[in-house]
Amino acid sequence: MIKTAEEYRKKGFGKEYAWIDFVNSQEWDGFGKPEDHLSETSWLALFLRRWELAKRAPAHVPHTDLQRLREFLRHAAEKLSAHRTLSANEVAALNSWLKVPAWQKLVERRNGFRLELAPVKDGWEWIVSCIAASFAQMLTSGESARLKICPNHGCRWVFYDQTKGKTRRWCSDRSCGNRDRVRRSRATAKKKK
């Protein structure tokens, strides 16, 4: 269970996009044992705070809706990481997640003014829309080729490859990458016997 912002970061959350953290909220330990962070109120609070989606989780968490969105985004990530495009139906589904009434407001920050979207009504519908918008922003940035999924079938962590040549393969070279090297080394040693 993740309880602090430091633990949240150490686990690999909070880097590029809110939707990636959201998809990885169903985390495997590298050996295929899953842990669902959406059912942890502490993880959910850290996620909402990190991505400035809400100061605290609204009441009555819609677990079924959140799991449906997570499954949709994971499926979309798998397609994109395999260099396939989203179908018209998938784009329509994404648009349905984005369809939440909002209004624009001018906000003054330290560095000047900024135009922001604000929900007509706060709550989970707005949060879900923001998560879907995070995915849409990645699509519109033209950087979806940097999207990857750890090839360790016991992990499947979604990550954004920031290396210059887009050469990163594993979620972590120290864990999943090392496990793969050990497996290959043992297989080679076994063949030599």
Q: Write out the two tokens for 141.
A: 């940035």
Nearby residues of 61 by Cβ (< 8 Å), 6 or more positions away: 38, 44, 124
User: What is this structure's pTM?
Assistant: 0.86
**Model pLDDT, residue 50:** 96
Q: Report the C-alpha gap between 28 and 175 in whole angstroms.
A: 12
> What domains are there in the chain, each with its CATH number?
5-89+142-192 (1.10.3300.10)
As a whole number, the mean pLDDT across the chain is: 90
Cα distances from 139 to residues 45, 102, 177, in angstroms, run 26, 21, 27
Distance of CA 49 to the CA centre of its chain: 15
Q: Write out the two tokens for 148.
A: 């990857």
Q: Write out the two tokens for 36.
A: 């669902």
Any bridge partners for residue 106, and if so which? 115
Q: Report the C-alpha gap between 158 and 171 in whole angstroms.
A: 7
pLDDT in tens, 84-132: 999 999 999 999 999 999 999 999 989 999 999 889 998 999 999 999 9
**Taking a C-beta distance cutoff of 8 angstroms, is the pair 84, 151 a contact?**
no
pLDDT in tens, 6-30: 999 999 899 999 999 999 999 988 7
pLDDT in tens, 52-92: 999 888 989 999 999 999 999 999 999 999 999 999 999 99
Q: What is the mean pLDDT of residues 140-155?
A: 90
